[in-house]
Amino acid sequence: MIPARMLAKRFLIAGVLTLALVYAGDFVSVRVRMMHPKPGNPFEPVTAVRILAIDQKGGKTEYTIDPLQPQQSAECVHALFPHNGDLPCWYLKRKLAQPIPMTIFFLPNRGKSAISSTK
């Protein structure tokens, strides 16, 4: 029978090797597609509306389009992992579709007025 510590070590090594092989295959796939590019493959520009989620009283949320920067765009790579500084499209499209949470904090007035007088 194999001791538990040695079995755990083997599973860890097998997991790391599997992850390294999957990343290497993903890397080679992106490099081959970079040598023979097609529109949107392996890199694709993604544009999405920038939506703000503003907390209101009573636990309600108001959704509005950002007036300062209504659109956000980025470039993604069709792969499992990030390559060349670009996030994978499966992750970036999901991330850009999420509203950006905005919370308004009111600081308590600590007994000082906004206008100070010097005497």
Range 21-25, long-range pairs (CB < 8 A, 24+ positions): 22/80, 23/80, 23/81
pLDDT 10s digits, 61-89 = 899 999 999 999 999 999 999 999 999 99
Global model pTM greater than 0.85: no
DSSP string, 48-104: EE-EEEEE-GGG-EEEEE-SS--EEEEEEESSSS-BTTBEEHHHHHHHHHSPEEE--
At a CB cut-off of 8 Å and minimum separation 6, what does 116 contact?
none
pLDDT 10s digits, 102-112 = 877 776 766 55
